[in-house]
Chain A
Amino acid sequence: MNTKNLARQDVAVEDVEPFVRAGCSALGLELDEAALQRVAGVFAMNARIASLVTSFDLPEAEDPLPLTRLD
């Protein structure tokens, strides 16, 4: 599975469903089918929003550390 392919504006729920199933399994979450479909819907929305992040060309040297302090 290539997660970069999920982070795109036109991603559909069925595109992310295999990843969500595998993710739930990896995390040990046993969800019924209805819950899994709801989560896939949310994940698809997250992926569309994340595409704005993943598609942006940042300078190579950009600091990968979170902004834990501003002082």
Chain B
Amino acid sequence: MEDAFSLTRGIRDGRTSAEAVVRDALAAITAQDGALNCFTAVLGERALAAARAVAADRRAGRALGPLAGVPFAVKNLFDVAGLTTLAGSRTLAGRPPAARDATLVSRLCGAGAVLVGALNMDAYAYGFTTENSHYGPTRNPWDPERIAGGSSGGSAAAVAAGLVPLSLGSDTNGSIRVPASLCGVFGLKPTFGRLPRTGSYPFVADLDHLGPFTTSARDLAQVYDVLQGPDAADPACTRRAPEPVMPVLDDGVSGLRVGRLSGYFDRWAGEQARRASALAAQALGAAGEVTLPEVERARAAAFVVTASQGGALRLPELLARYDEIEPHSRDRLVAGAMTPAAWLVKAQKLRAWFLRQALAVFEDWDVLVAPATPVPATRIGEDWLELDGQRLPLRPSLGLLTQPISCIGLPVAVAPMAGLGPLPIGVQLIAAPWREDLCLRAARALERAGVARFVAPGGIA
């Protein structure tokens, strides 16, 4: 499937139609999703009606939106009118359907994009593998015996497999960046508070972010521009006016101070991840290596906040329906619910302190490069990971390199690095708060240099 930019251009030019594009997407889902398990709901009627509306607008000469006719799908924690919002959990399946679309879904539809379905995820977004016991694992399009990453695994795998050119996911500790890296697609976790979360199922209010997956940096910027804007219904959402990136996307990185994160980010990176980071840094003209202080403690703070808030939020279900809760997260939720308050308060203080240290670093640097995951996709069912000579529990460790960054809300784009091995891996391009433009310019520069690019599964990653 072409990227969103090309599809929309083809629809505008009359080389194809929105209906044909959406029918192709629905056919691809029918043909391939049985093997991948990305989708938990497919909205054929709604999608075709929306595609026909785009076609009618074009025939009538009405202005088409920037994403006119582009099929997209969303992690099933986004409200979709008429669907029950599952958040990956069987315990939520009996709730009534959502009355309206989530704010970000509405914004994409308002730009002409066509919603075709809802996507699989780790239960409650508490996981990095999308090995969902109730809805089945989502399989990596590069190797169906391997994980897609999580918790937005369906969102990344659906884009990588070419079922849709665009999807939405959420990222609390790495749930956009980890699956983007393991599936070889572009992803964006914007600044905390940049995009409204209204109509999405919460996990950890202090850390939850929403964002897109695409097959190109250009699409990522275009979609991000459509998604921006304040929303009074989400108290964490900024009141800043949108700051469009498309006008500056091709400005390149000349003049930007790029550094490569070392120390902790090298220690917990495997060989391919370190090569990816080094190659991206070199291509961006990095001037040196950068260390952040106390990164391991920042990651621990994210871990404590997640366990505590995530467990507390789920406590009513733990009390009422313990046996029905996802086994991969049930015990973690219970343990988290009894986190001493003193630990949580200290973790929040540590986050504030760590943010100040990071802001001081950004006085000298504009973009920081780091691997997105320690390793490429591991096998489904695997429990352990060998890193730095240590045997670590695999599921939480996939977020080792993402958690310290989202813990202080910094914006991050993930770019898939080309040609480093049989499986893809991505790099994080990190900037100061509200500087998504720099993350996306760096991703675009890597893409234009041919260093980062989306490759359809089956090619050389």
Contact = CB atoms under 8 A, between A and B. Distances in A.
Contact of B352 (A38, A62, A69, A71): A62
Interface residues of B, number: 48
14 contacts: A3-B340, A3-B343, A27-B337, A29-B322, A43-B335, A43-B338, A46-B304, A46-B336, A50-B300, A50-B339, A52-B297, A52-B300, A68-B236, A70-B238
A27 B312 CA distance: 10
B143 interface: no
Interface of A: 3-4, 6-7, 19-20, 23-24, 26-29, 31, 35, 38-39, 41-43, 45-46, 49-50, 52-54, 56, 58-59, 62-71
Contact of B319 (A3, A28, A69): A28
A20 to B, nearest CB: 7
Contacts of B192: 67, 70
Nearest to B334: A39
B448 interface: no
A7 B433 CA distance: 32
B294 interface: yes
B342 A63 contact: no
Contacts of B240: 71
B117 to A, nearest CB: 33
Contact of A67 (B300, B343, B355, B434): B355
Given A19-B338, A71-B433, 19 more contacts: A20-B338, A23-B338, A24-B334, A35-B322, A39-B331, A50-B304, A50-B339, A52-B300, A53-B350, A54-B342, A54-B346, A56-B346, A62-B352, A63-B352, A65-B348, A66-B348, A68-B206, A70-B433, A71-B434
Contacts of A65: 348, 352
Which of B191, B192, B235 is packed against the most chain A CB atoms within 10 Å?
Answer: B192
Interface in B336-395: 336-340, 342-343, 345-353, 355, 393
A26 B338 CA distance: 9
Q: Which residue among B294, B304, B322, B336 has the maximum number of chain A CB atoms within 10 Å of its CB?
A: B304
A70 B236 CA distance: 9
Given A50-B304, A52-B296, A54-B343, A66 B434 contact: no
Contact of A59 (B193, B294, B319, B353): B353
Contacts of B238: 69-71
B300 A53 contact: yes
Given A39-B331, A65-B348, A66-B206, A71 B304 contact: no
A38 B408 CA distance: 31
Given A20-B338, A68-B235, A56 B297 contact: yes
Contacts of B90: none
